[in-house]
Amino acid sequence: MKATGMPGIPEISETAADWQALAQKALEGERLSVEEGLAVLEADNDEVLPLLQAVFRVRKHFYGKKVKLNMIINAKSGLCPEDCGYCAQSIVSSTPIVKYPLLEKATLLAGAREAMARQAGTYCIVASGKGPTDKELDQVIEAVKEIRATMPLKICACLGLLKDEQAERLAEAGVHRYNHNLNTSRTNYPSITTTHTYDQRVESVEKVKRYGLSPCSGVIIGMGETNREIVEMAYALRELEADSIPVNFLNAIPGTPLEQAGRTPAMKALKVLALFRLICPSKEIRVAGGREVNLRTLQPLGLYAANSLFVGDYLTTKGQEAAADYQMIEDLGFEIEQCAL
């Protein structure tokens, strides 16, 4: 910080103008350099507020003060042959979780009604496994058709790797969006998962785009990646043109291979959210799983960069009470987007 000439009273930082310049660059559609991205992640903690002030210009330009709410239903729990090191549902996890096959139509419909009650504009149907069987896809499609006919919800499906005909059927049934996260960088990927590849995930996102589904793909921060890899992850999602980018922060679950991983410091998490807003300025940036554990009391500041969040619980972990999210949004002077369609 610069001195003001008055003992103990700092001036506005010399780098505040630099953050504003990066925000202007993002608004004009220019791509940040790797060095600029690293500067965001490696900024001194004293710079976080001026950084967020600059980033909020970008968020406000594209999304105003609206916050998109999303709700997950864990449509199939456990029973997964994949070895993802972060996941309590994977075959290598010893975490005691409830396991069940794909939920029946009535339960999926009840979940959609709950999403409406929670003011969520997007209902996310998530199932464990490498990919859906044709029978499972039939069950999801049957529920989707009724939801589309009776409720004003955007529907996002997350069912794993898809065959071409499966992607086509989901699109025809009325699914709006498909989620398949990249999770980490190409370099770090083999240390997290070995039962499928990074390239398979990229191809999955490209495939759903070909069939007219809006691509949703994001990351999990805190799995041993470097700052440079975080920048690379943001670039990868920019190049994939993901419409919605969930930024998760690892919630290290006992019984998983990553159970000893530490949490991401709250100030670092804010810098990550700022980075994704600057690199993917017009996209929906969702502060997602692990926000309660990692951002803790700084959760409200995350919405100066992100414009979306999950309301309620996640797959196998608890989320913040919905009432606390509503209060947080109100206290910020923001408002819930009432319809995502």
Question: Would the annotation count 87 as a binding residue?
Answer: yes
**Radius of gyration of the chain measured on its C-alpha atoms:** 20
Question: Would the annotation count 124 as a binding residue?
Answer: yes
Tokens of 256: 């998983």
Question: Would the annotation count 158 as a binding residue?
Answer: no
Question: Would the annotation count 280 as a binding residue?
Answer: no
Give the active site residues: 80, 84, 87, 124, 156, 216, 286
What is the rounded CA–CA span in Å between residue 164 and residue 97? 32
What is the rounded CA–CA span in Å between residue 69 and residue 97? 26
CA angle 230, 235, 237 (to 5 degrees): 100
> Residue 206 in contact with residue 248, Cβ under 8 Å?
no
253-288 burial code (b ≥16 CB/10 A, e <16): beebbbeebebbebbbbbbbbbbbbbbbbebbbbbb
What is the rounded CA–CA span in Å between residue 168 and residue 305? 34
Q: What is the 3-state secondary structure (H, E, C) of 223-254?
A: CCCCHHHHHHHHHHHHHHCCCEEEEEECCCCC
- Signed CA dihedral, 325, 311, 306, 173: sign only: negative
- Signed CA dihedral, 270, 276, 281, 282: sign only: negative
Question: Would the annotation count 156 as a binding residue?
Answer: yes
What is the rounded CA–CA span in Å between residue 91 and residue 97? 12
Annotated binding residues for [2Fe-2S] cluster, written as ranges, equal 124, 156, 216, 286
Annotated binding residues for [4Fe-4S] cluster, written as ranges, equal 80, 84, 87
Annotated binding residues, written as ranges, equal 80, 84, 87, 124, 156, 216, 286
